[in-house]
């Protein structure tokens, strides 16, 4: 089994994915234990101080000025978690909850939160047992972090609430913990805050999104190359010296992918001579490197933000290296929320351009000799007409999902928390956007593959031919109308799991 170590160094996106999706086991670095014990010593000292200290001997949020007597502090922590576990709506996906738990564990392991070693070990045990707290869609405003989602996880640590076990079956938390041999935790001073004050939900979803988009953006280049080739378009506008006139790194990477994917195409060579009068292709073909490249650069910026966030220790108050316990605002989700929204904009635009290429493939006035809607017997057959409708509907939805969540704010906690990030909401809509982008690209690949088949006897490029061949393992070629929805699902799955990219790379080598 794969193992991911926490507390030694910042986690990487790949490690988050291995735990969230792959079920990798998580272990705590030995040096992290020393830091956790040291920071807990600081909290224990403050717990017996007659002066109030936020989160140790006071209430929370707008109740920060309320002093809590020592004999009430265990109840205070328990009440905090119960009251904050207030989510509602559909269950959040297992991979998101596991990512959230991993990132909270990583922060606890920094020795900046003041939790006890035993509490951290219990959290690790829950994650490694495959116990997934039931977390709901709504409840986080992204400040102070993802309170409600994290509280639902902390509630399970206390032996309360609902979970799904390693088999995905719903169970009471107490039963699941007992079956795994994990004793419920009775939280001590400061621990309730340490378990809920973080941006781990939105950051976990950002990490998963970055992983998925790395595949989808390369696949968008493959799809664009397939469509351009099938539409008798030119690769001349993607030449390296032309693209270099605008020194945008993402644009150059996308153009290189497009050129490599179309290389060696007999279809392309068939219309290269001076007798062919098409001077410029439509923007959805010619400007693919510019749009796909801008999306790549947005991805790169988001990856830099994620890398810094994955190195962060977010809590309030926080135990500093010199033993101070200080309030701060690092739990505000703006840095993560912004890039989640930036990515949603890029996703919508890449999908929009893809849908335009699909539409062009189906229109006999613009497809340079392809049959209407790529139908076998246009009129009797509708071909892929409604597949474009599906893509168009998804693109319309993506435009709505691209409206930023992070520009919104709604005051909470009696105006103490008077500006919030909405980063969790930005992450939720980006996840829907990524699913939609995969489907839009799936429709384009499905359409372009049929169009390339219809260009026979001219042969496509080795890379695009490999994609067509991979699709044909599960989806038949041109012919009379068939039940289309399953074919769209297959194409979407091949896009999403990287099979389309891998097929192209079997001829091109690694794509950017």
Domain ranges of the chain: 3-198, 205-303+334-508
Give me 123's structure tokens.
Answer: 């959290």
Give me 127's structure tokens.
Answer: 């994650």
Q: Do domains 3-198 and 205-303+334-508 have the same CATH topology?
A: no
pLDDT of residue 339: 98
Q: How many helices (H) and strands (E) does the chain have?
A: 20, 9
The torsion angle over the Cα atoms of residues 7, 12, 17 and 22, rounded to 10 degrees, is: -50
| Cα–Cα distance measured from residue 227 to residue 281, given in angstroms and rounded to the nearest whole number | 12
pTM: 0.96
Cis-peptide, bond into residue 144, ω within 30° of zero: yes
The domain made up of 3-198 has a fold known as Fumarase C; Chain B, domain 1 (1.10.275)
Cβ pair 482, 387 in contact under 8 A: no
- Per-residue 3-state assignment (H helix, E strand, C coil) for 403-461: CCCCCCCCCECCCCECCCCCHHHHHHHHHHHHHHHHHHHHHHHHHHHHHHHHCCCCCCC
3-state secondary structure of 326: strand
- Upper half-sphere CA count for residue 511 (Cβ side, 13 Å): 32
Tens of pLDDT along the chain (512 residues) come to 699 999 999 999 999 999 999 999 999 999 999 999 999 999 999 888 888 887 788 776 667 777 888 888 888 899 999 999 999 999 999 999 999 999 999 999 999 999 999 999 999 999 999 999 999 999 999 887 899 999 999 999 999 999 999 999 999 999 999 999 999 999 999 999 999 999 999 999 999 999 999 999 999 999 999 999 999 999 999 999 999 999 999 999 999 999 999 999 999 999 987 766 676 899 999 999 999 999 999 999 999 999 999 999 999 999 999 999 898 999 999 999 999 999 999 999 999 999 999 999 999 999 999 999 999 999 999 999 999 999 999 999 999 999 999 999 988 887 878 889 999 999 999 999 999 999 999 999 999 999 999 999 999 999 999 999 999 999 999 999 999 999 999 999 999 999 999 999 999 999 99
| Cα–Cα distance measured from residue 204 to residue 101, given in angstroms and rounded to the nearest whole number | 9
Ramachandran category for residue 228: left, alpha or beta (phi over 0 → left; psi -120 to 50 → alpha): alpha
Cβ pair 247, 53 in contact under 8 A: no
State how beta strands 136-138 and 88-91 pair: antiparallel
pLDDT of residue 489: 98
| Cα–Cα distance measured from residue 486 to residue 391, given in angstroms and rounded to the nearest whole number | 15
The domain made up of 205-303+334-508 has a fold known as Fumarase C; Chain A, domain 2 (1.20.200)
Cis-peptide, bond into residue 457, ω within 30° of zero: yes
Is residue 54 among the annotated active site residues? Answer: yes
pLDDT of residue 55: 75
| Cα–Cα distance measured from residue 58 to residue 63, given in angstroms and rounded to the nearest whole number | 8
> What are the residues whose beta carbons fall under 8 Å from the beta carbon of 394, sequence distance 6 or more?
351, 355, 436, 439, 440
């Amino acid at each position: 089994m794969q193992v991911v170590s926490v507390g030694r160094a910042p986690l990487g996106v790949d490690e988050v994915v291995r735990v969230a999706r792959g079920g990798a086991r998580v272990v705590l670095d030995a040096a992290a234990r020393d830091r956790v014990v040291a920071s807990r010593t600081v909290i224990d000292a403050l717990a017996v101080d007659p002066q109030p200290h936020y989160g140790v001997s006071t209430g929370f949020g707008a109740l920060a000025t309320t002093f809590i007597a020592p004999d009430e502090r265990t109840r205070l922590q328990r009440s905090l978690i119960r009251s904050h576990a207030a989510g509602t709506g559909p269950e959040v996906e297992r991979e998101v909850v596991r990512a959230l738990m991993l990132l909270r564990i990583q922060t606890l392991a920094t020795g900046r939160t003041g939790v006890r070693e035993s509490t951290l070990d219990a959290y690790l045990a829950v994650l490694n047992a495959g116990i997934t707290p039931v977390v709901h869609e709504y409840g986080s405003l992204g400040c102070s972090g993802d309170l409600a989602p994290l509280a639902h996880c902390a509630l399970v640590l206390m032996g309360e609430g609902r979970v799904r076990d390693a088999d995905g079956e719903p169970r009471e938390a107490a039963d699941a913990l007992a079956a795994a041999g994990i004793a419920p935790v009775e939280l001590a001073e400061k621990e309730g805050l340490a378990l809920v004050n973080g941006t781990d939900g939105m950051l976990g979803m950002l990490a998963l999104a970055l992983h998925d988009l790395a595949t989808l953006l390369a696949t968008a280049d493959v799809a664009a190359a397939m469509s351009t080739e099938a539409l008798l378009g030119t690769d001349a506008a993607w030449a390296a010296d032309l693209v270099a006139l605008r020194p945008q790194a993402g644009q150059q990477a996308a153009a290189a992918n497009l050129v490599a994917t179309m290389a060696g195409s007999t279809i392309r060579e068939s219309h290269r001579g001076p007798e062919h009068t098409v001077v410029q292709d439509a923007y959805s073909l010619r400007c693919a490197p510019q749009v796909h490249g801008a999306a790549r650069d947005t991805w790169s910026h988001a990856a830099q933000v994620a890398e810094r966030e994955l190195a962060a220790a977010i809590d309030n108050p926080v135990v500093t290296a010199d033993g101070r316990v200080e309030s701060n605002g690092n739990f505000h989700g703006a840095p993560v929320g912004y890039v989640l929204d930036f990515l949603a904009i890029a996703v919508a635009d890449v999908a929009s351009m893809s849908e335009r290429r699909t539409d062009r493939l189906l229109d006999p006035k613009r497809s340079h000799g392809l049959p209407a809607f790529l139908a076998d017997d246009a009129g009797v057959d509708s071909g892929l007409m409604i597949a474009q409708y599906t893509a168009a509907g998804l693109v319309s939805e993506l435009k709505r999902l691209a409206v930023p969540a992070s520009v919104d704010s709604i005051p909470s906690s009696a105006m103490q928390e008077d500006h919030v990030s909405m980063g969790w909401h930005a992450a939720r809509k980006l996840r829907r956007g990524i699913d939609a982008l995969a489907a839009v690209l799936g429709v384009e690949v499905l359409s372009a593959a049929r169009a390339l088949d219809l260009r026979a006897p001219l042969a496509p490029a080795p890379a695009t031919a490999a994609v067509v061949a991979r699709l044909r393992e599960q989806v038949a070629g041109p012919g009379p109308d068939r039940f289309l929805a399953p074919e769209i699902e297959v194409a979407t799955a091949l896009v999403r799991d990287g099979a389309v990219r891998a097929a192209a790379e079997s001829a091109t080598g690694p794509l950017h």
